Amino acid sequence: MTRKFTTTMLLRSLLALAVISMISASAQTSTAAADGPAATHAAAAPSAPLVTGTGTKIGTINIEQAVLGSNEGQRDFQALQKKLEPKQNELKSQNDELESLQKQLQTQGDKLNDDARATLVKQIETKKKSFDRDVQDAQEDAQNQQKEIFQRILQKMAPVIVKHAQEGGYAMIVDTSNPWPQSPILWYGEGGDITKAVVDLYNTQSGVPAPAAGGPVAPKPTTTKPAAPKTTAPPSK
């Protein structure tokens, strides 16, 4: 299993609704607090629309970078990467064993008798099924833990985003985590990006210290699957 963590569309789709609901809820709560009990009741209604700011500017934020770039995000994803390393090493060993057996079949298959060849093929098939099942389980476990970390941090970061946007005179903040055409945002300028400002504010609020200089970079969520060895069929008789 590769140790390089890369962002995937799957995690983005899992978190898209969370981003909208968390920031919307935070904005509604903030507005309701200013307008009184009646507004609070209205904000709690299931059909309450997304509350927008009263300013005139449109800003951008890369939610993914904000969460992963925060001190808390770096700390927690680094810890998760370390936690997952034993399983990754285990899967790598399984993969290496499969490749060794397949190489044996390729180089010695024509020299084996029928029974020996059939036994080797069966061994490869059994180990591959077990490997594929272990890979799937490991992927699901990693994705669930990554999602939990991301959502937990975003839940706390959402009010910071809304507060900064309101104080900065923004009417709208759009997420630029996905590039066009996956996102409807075709182009935006760096001048309206609030990602760094939000990360700085959140780091101050969380109290989590910055990672040690020269330390590992926080991994990004992944659904990367280790390359499964190819099954080589025995030569036909």
- The predicted-structure confidence for 84-114, as pLDDT tens digits, reads as follows 999 999 999 999 999 999 999 999 888 889 9
- Helices 9-35 and 37-44 sit at what angle, rounded to 10 degrees? 160
Long-range contacts of 105-109 (CB under 8 A, 24+ apart): 105/232, 105/234, 106/232, 109/232, 109/234, 109/235
List b or e across 27-53, with b for residues whose CB sees 16 or more CB atoms inside 10 angstroms.
bbbbbbeeeeeebeeebeeeeeeebeb
- The pTM of this model reads 0.69
Residue 30 has pLDDT above 70, yes or no: no
Task: Report the distance separating Cα 177 and Cα 169, nearest Å.
Answer: 22
User: Which one is predicted more confidently, 190 or 89?
Assistant: 89
Nearest to 152 by CA among 217, 77, 88, 219: 77
Q: Is 169 left (phi over 0), alpha (psi -120 to 50) or beta?
A: left
User: What does the DSSP 8-state code read for residue 193?
Assistant: B
Respond yes or no on whether the N-terminal peptide bond of residue 181 is cis (omega within 30° of 0). yes
Helix (H) / strand (E) containing 58: strand 57-61
Residue 129 burial (10 A CB sphere; 0-12, 13-18, 19+): exposed
Please give the helix or strand (H or E) that residue 175 lies within, else none.
Answer: strand 170-175
Q: Are 226 and 89 in contact (CB under 8 A)?
A: no
CA distance 148 to 90: 24
Q: Which residue has the higher pLDDT, 23 or 64?
A: 64
Conformational region of residue 36, where left means phi above 0, alpha means psi within -120 to 50, and beta covers everything else: left
* Tokens at 205, concatenated: 């609020």
Highest mean pLDDT among 49-58, 140-149, 179-188: 140-149
Q: What is the band of 27 on the pLDDT scale with cuts at 50, 70, 90?
A: low
In the chain, what is the straight-line distance between the N-terminal and C-terminal CA atoms, in Å?
36
Do residues 223 and 11 lie in contact, with contact meaning Cβ atoms separated by under 8 Å?
A: yes
Q: Which domains does the chain have, with CATH numbers?
A: 9-80+149-206 (3.30.910)
Element (H, E) at 163: helix 114-167
